[in-house]
Amino acid sequence: MTEHILFLTGKLAEKRLRRVLGDMQPVEFTWEAREIGVSVAALMTAQMIGRRLHDVDGVNRIIVPGLCQGDLQSLSESLGIAVQRGPVDVKDLPAFFGREAEPVNLDKHSVGIFAEIVEAPQISVDDILARAARYKRDGADVIDIGCLPDTPFPHLEEAVQALHEAGYKVSVDSLEDDELLRGVRAGADFLLSLHESSAWIAEETDAIPILIPEQHTDMPSLYRLIDKFMAQDKPFIADSILDPVHFGFTDSIIRYHALRERYPGIEIMMGTGNLTELTEADTSGINAMLCGIISELDINHVLATEVSPHACSVVRELDLARRIMYAAKQDEGLPKGVDGGLLTGHSRKPFPYTLGEIREVAAQVKDPSYRVEITPEGIHVYNRDGLVTGQDPFELFPALESLQEDAPHAFYMGVELAKAETALRLGKRYMQDEDLDWGVAIVPGTSGEQAARTKSAHGLKDGNTGEYKPAGTTLQARKRKS
């Protein structure tokens, strides 16, 4: 008889569980997914299951979430059915059944990225084109030409035309009417930004304007402008302006919510620079949270800047974040277990093996080649001569006697131990002879180069071994690597 398996889950993971099981077809069992009245599957307990689970006729096995707490043996005896813990992550269910997991499709998104060249008046047209190429590579859909207050921009028209000739969509970003007019006459596709006093400029062009309040936080003025454009059936994008932390950030999020509630069908933009540029924190996490808000509010466009040195990968981060949030939203699930590229400083599962497992393997090694692994207890190096553990390379190196007169091998081990220490301190996954995974923070084209160099040095002696825009090269490189 074909085995019938009952999978228990929580509300947040139910749809994703059904999708994963559906993608596994055909399977050698029949199945049913059942949500038992808990939001987060990890909060499920054996006692809860015993109280809430009814109607198990025809069920041969029950699989519960991997983090389910309690005595499953007693539960099995009570139900008369085998109860088994599954994987911690739903995405690992195929591997649990000996199948290869299907990666989450990140080809789609529903948010456009405007990437602003803030200092455009101060750099040459060639430099503007070079910056545009980088932004496009990182995932930008529109190149935004920034105009600076009280700064001449004699090559504005030339820049817009050169970008158009190179195939880019272009926006001109200024609060000066004259610069906006120059931009539209040069052929700009978008105007940032118009308010009630400058709305007349829209009559001069087919460029799509981004509408903002007349004065900061003056939402009635924005509403009047939106109503005017809607009455004229003219295209526009509205932006109620995101404020920095401690200068109205929470209120500005509320304004975006009010804007979407009032106008369910319009296109909305959010500029992220006031948060990413003005918060001294890793921007990958900030962009993940902003894209979560953007996803919930169905915001259609983001305006990104990369001015501060710590914000140098914002466009790449937004490109990946918009795709992760889209995939999670389609699954009606959490943005967890979709893709780890925004975990630039840490890894979700940094330590794949326990110290006990490493000791067991080390006891069986019969050759002189050094293996390096990490656990929460430290860095572990072992070969046929034994296992040594330490917290940093300086502590470990004196114990590795065979390296004392072997410069190439010593160099190789120095590099590997430095990577291992970095991974240990940050909580990142370490694999010998492989680069640490810095996610979307890595500039495209550089991943893997260090690993190749260290392998080469090691080999001298040792020999161990909608209309959706295509993904930017960063995302493509990550998919190839995975």
> How do residues 192-211 score in pLDDT, each as one tens digit?
999 999 999 999 899 999 99
Whether residue 115 contacts residue 144, with contact meaning beta carbons closer than 8 Å, is answered with yes
How many helices (DSSP H) and strands (DSSP E) are in the chain?
Answer: 17, 15
Instruction: Check whether 482 has a pLDDT greater than 60.
Output: no
CA-CA distance, 395 to 311, in Å (whole number)? 35
In this structure, the chain runs to a length of 482
Q: Spell out a b/e string for 301-330, using b for 16 or more CB atoms within 10 Å of the CB, else e.
A: bbbbbbeeeebebbbbbbbbbbbbbbbbee
User: pLDDT tens, 281-305?
Assistant: 999 999 999 999 999 999 999 999 9
Q: What is the largest CA-CA distance in the chain?
A: 82
* Mean pLDDT lowest among 223-237, 345-359, 423-437, 456-470: 456-470
Whether residue 148 contacts residue 183, with contact meaning beta carbons closer than 8 Å, is answered with no
Rounded average pLDDT over 239-254: 98
| Residue 51 token pair | 């109280």
Sheet containing 371-375, strands listed edge to edge, beginning at the edge strand earlier in sequence: 371-375, 378-383, 386-390
| Residue 180 token pair | 């906006």
| Residue 413 token pair | 């081990």
Preceding peptide of 193 cis, ω within 30°: yes
What single string gives the DSSP state of each residue in 445-468?
Answer: T-TTHHHHHHHHHHHTTT------
Preceding peptide of 149 cis, ω within 30°: no
pLDDT grade for 473, boundaries at 50, 70 and 90: low
| Alpha-carbon 278 to chain mean position | 20
pLDDT of residue 462: 33
| Residue 297 token pair | 């509010």
CA-CA distance, 379 to 46, in Å (whole number)? 37
Instruction: Check whether 84 has a pLDDT greater than 90.
Output: yes
Whether residue 315 contacts residue 306, with contact meaning beta carbons closer than 8 Å, is answered with yes
Amino acid type, 425? R
| Residue 465 token pair | 């071994």
| Residue 185 token pair | 């006459």
CA-CA distance, 43 to 65, in Å (whole number)? 9
For 439, phi and psi rounded to 5 degrees? Answer: 60, -140
Residue for token digits 């817009």?
A: 160
| Residue 160 token pair | 């817009």
Rounded average pLDDT over 13-24: 88
Mean confidence (pLDDT) of the chain: 90
For residue 80, count CB atoms less than 10 angstroms from its CB and return exposed for 0-12, middle for 13-18, buried for 19 or more.
Answer: exposed
Question: Selecting from 3.40.50.300, 3.30.710.10, 1.10.10.10, 3.20.20.20, what CATH number does the domain 112-330 have?
Answer: 3.20.20.20
pLDDT grade for 81, boundaries at 50, 70 and 90: very high
CATH code of the domain made up of 3-96: 3.40.50
Whether residue 177 contacts residue 204, with contact meaning beta carbons closer than 8 Å, is answered with no
Q: Sign (positive/negative) of CA torsion 350, 352, 357, 362?
A: negative
Instruction: Check whether 241 has a pLDDT greater than 70.
Output: yes
Pick 87 or 218 by higher pLDDT: 218
Instruction: Check whether 475 has a pLDDT greater than 70.
Output: no
Amino acid type, 184? V
- What is residue 45's DSSP assignment? B
% pLDDT > 90, the chain: 72
pLDDT of residue 181: 95
Pick 130 or 13 by higher pLDDT: 130
User: pLDDT tens, 462-472?
Assistant: 333 244 456 66
Integer angstrom CA distances of residue 21 from 15, 99, 105: 10, 11, 16
pLDDT of residue 453: 42
Domain residue ranges of the chain, discontinuous segments joined by +: 3-96, 112-330, 355-459
Specify the DSSP element, H or E, that contains 371: strand 371-375
Give the 3-state secondary structure of residue 297. Answer: coil
What single string gives the DSSP state of each residue in 65-102?
Answer: -TT-BS-HHHHHHHHTSEEEE--SSGGGHHHHTT-PPP
Q: Measured at the alpha carbon of residue 110, what is the angle toward residues 185 and 163, in degrees to the nearest 5? A: 30
For 28, phi and psi rounded to 5 degrees? Answer: -90, 10
Pick 449 or 251 by higher pLDDT: 251
Residue for token digits 């939001």?
A: 39
| pTM attached to this predicted model | 0.81
Same-fold call for 3-96 versus 112-330 = no
Amino acid type, 147? C
Give the residue from 198, 200, 239, 236 showing the smallest Cα distance to 216: 239
Whether residue 380 contacts residue 374, with contact meaning beta carbons closer than 8 Å, is answered with yes
pLDDT grade for 62, boundaries at 50, 70 and 90: very high
CA-CA distance, 40 to 441, in Å (whole number)? 30
pLDDT of residue 467: 43
| Residue 99 token pair | 């199948």
Give the 3-state secondary structure of residue 286. Answer: helix
Instruction: Check whether 458 has a pLDDT greater than 50.
Output: no
pLDDT grade for 446, boundaries at 50, 70 and 90: low
* Mean pLDDT lowest among 116-125, 153-162, 222-231, 356-365: 356-365
CA-CA distance, 220 to 43, in Å (whole number)? 45
pLDDT grade for 12, boundaries at 50, 70 and 90: confident
pLDDT grade for 213, boundaries at 50, 70 and 90: very high
CA-CA distance, 449 to 454, in Å (whole number)? 9
pLDDT grade for 95, boundaries at 50, 70 and 90: confident
CA-CA distance, 76 to 53, in Å (whole number)? 12
